[in-house]
């Protein structure tokens, strides 16, 4: 007979989601649906008509976890639309700000999964290490970006200003400390993930989270619009993909690349740029732990390459033709993050759209829980570290629980 199992809400991630699972008599998931139920904010609509410079300020408010990723994607999209090329040192500072955000975000995820994997006797030391790592990541964003969360120094054309030699030295020193902690974290966590055992002794199924979909990533640490054919990206509505009773609750689009669902994030980057072959939910945790080391090494390279007296911002006017669709790509902590914008001859936004990292992963997570017992489904969700508020861009219900704008979904 089987039955439907609903896990609502899923926990220990940002935003509100639920799992709607069809399971057989043994509890094995035959069909998995993972959907956002976070309320829509409508950023992309209220940006139309606003000055282009307002976009990075506004979109960094998608949420407080990935503000740097969205501000960076926004300025990159506007620069592409307006033909602006930022100076080298401005781009280095921008990349370093993004690395600081990831050096804060990845350890935060490792904190959230502590109840699943970390024995009580180890937690104080484990969480202390994480908090020290997060402090360094946030220091980098605060120092270079101007604020620890919604960084005002990320500007169209580059960065508002450089940092002092003293600040550069301090960041480098803190990165050396971070590198030591990140390596300790790898040595501690990798055996746990490879053993596939929860803290209560429960063995995790070997193929938990396996799927045969593709990986999408454009750069190991920053983002590169040259490494994606955006014309192959198409967004579908929930009604195109889910059954009606599920689709009516979903608040995200379903993007596909060349017709295919794609995973984004740490494992996708590792598969693309480091020949990582491992599959399943545990492999995502492993890739994320290794990325902490890669991120801090790149941060130290940037400090060594940066000319703190160099030009940080292009002086070109922020004007477009109203037609060219600019593309901004940034590899956020959770993966491939794109914003698109058109700017008119008065410097105002005529079109804006964002396909953020978790938007890609949401439909794939539903598929990745299939084939194993539903009691493990939340472990698949948490492996992807979804940041759901960023991904929520559609509305299907009003406050009376009635469908609105149904014509868009048929």
Instruction: Say whether 44 counts as a known binding-site residue.
Output: yes
Residue listed under structure tokens 């006017």:
317
Q: CA 253, CA 260: separation in Å to the nearest integer?
A: 14
301 Cβ contact list (under 8 Å, min separation 6) = none
390 is in an annotated binding site: yes
Instruction: Say if residue 393 carries a ligand binding annotation.
Output: yes
- Residue 82 assigned ligand-binding role: no
Q: How far apart are CA 64 and CA 67, in angstroms?
A: 6
Residue closest to 394 by CA, chosen among 36, 7, 14, 10: 36
Write out the two tokens for 49: 């008509």
- Do the annotations mark residue 63 as ligand-binding? yes
Contact (CB, 8 A) for 338 and 329? yes
The residues, ordered by sequence, that sit 6+ positions from 309 with a Cβ below 8 Å of its Cβ are: 162
Q: Is 66 assigned to a binding site? A: yes
**DSSP string of 361-408, one letter each residue:** HHHHHHHHTTTSBGGGHHHHHHHT--BHHHH-----B-TTS-B-SGGG
Nearest to 368 by CA among 214, 261, 209: 209
What are residue 366's DSSP bridge partners? none
- Report CA 235 to chain centroid distance, whole Å: 18
* CA angle at 105 for the pair 99 and 108, rounded to the nearest 5°: 145
Which residue positions form the known binding site for Mg(2+)? 44, 393
Which residue positions form the known binding site? 44, 63, 66, 387, 390, 393
Which residue positions form the known binding site for Ni(2+)? 63, 66, 387
Which residue positions form the known binding site for Fe cation? 66, 390
């Amino acid at each position: 007979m089987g039955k439907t199992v609903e896990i609502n809400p899923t926990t220990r991630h940002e935003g509100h989601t639920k799992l709607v699972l069809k399971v057989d008599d043994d509890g094995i998931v035959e069909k998995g649906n993972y959907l956002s139920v976070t309320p829509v904010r409508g950023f992309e609509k209220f940006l139309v008509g606003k000055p282009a410079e307002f976009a990075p300020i506004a979109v960094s408010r998608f949420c407080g976890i990935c503000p740097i990723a969205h501000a960076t994607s926004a300025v990159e999209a506007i620069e592409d639309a307006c033909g602006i090329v930022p100076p080298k040192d401005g781009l280095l500072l921008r990349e370093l700000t993004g690395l600081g955000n990831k050096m804060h975000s990845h350890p935060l995820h490792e904190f959230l999964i502590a109840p699943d994997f970390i024995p009580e006797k180890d937690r104080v030391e484990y969480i202390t290490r994480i908090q020290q790592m997060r402090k360094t990541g946030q220091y980098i964003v605060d120092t270079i970006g101007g604020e620890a969360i919604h960084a005002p120094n990320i500007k169209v054309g580059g960065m508002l200003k450089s940092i002092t030699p003293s600040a550069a030295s301090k960041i480098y020193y803190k990165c050396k400390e971070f590198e030591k902690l990140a390596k300790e974290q790898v040595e501690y966590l990798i055996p746990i993930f490879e053993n596939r055992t929860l803290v209560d002794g429960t063995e995790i199924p070997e193929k938990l989270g396996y799927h045969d979909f593709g990986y999408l990533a454009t750069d190991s640490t920053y983002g590169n619009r040259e490494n994606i054919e955006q014309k192959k990206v198409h967004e579908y509505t929930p009604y195109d993909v889910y059954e009606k009773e599920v689709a009516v609750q979903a608040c995200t689009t379903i993007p596909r690349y060349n017709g295919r669902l794609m995973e984004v994030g740490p494992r996708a980057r590792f598969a693309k740029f480091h020949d990582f072959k491992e599959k399943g939910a545990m492999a995502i945790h492993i890739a994320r732990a290794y990325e902490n080391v890669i991120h801090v090494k790149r941060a130290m390279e940037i400090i060594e390459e940066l000319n703190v007296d160099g030009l940080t911002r292009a002086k070109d006017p922020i004007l477009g033709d109203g037609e060219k669709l600019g593309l901004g790509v940034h590899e956020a902590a959770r993966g491939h993050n794109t914003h698109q914008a058109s700017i008119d001859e008065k410097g105002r936004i005529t079109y804006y759209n964002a396909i953020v990292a978790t938007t890609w992963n949401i439909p794939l997570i539903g598929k990745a829980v299939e084939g194993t017992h539903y009691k493990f489904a939340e472990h698949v969700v948490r492996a992807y570290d979804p940041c759901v508020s960023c991904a929520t861009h559609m509305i299907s219900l009003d406050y009376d629980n009635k469908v609105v704008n149904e014509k868009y979904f048929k």
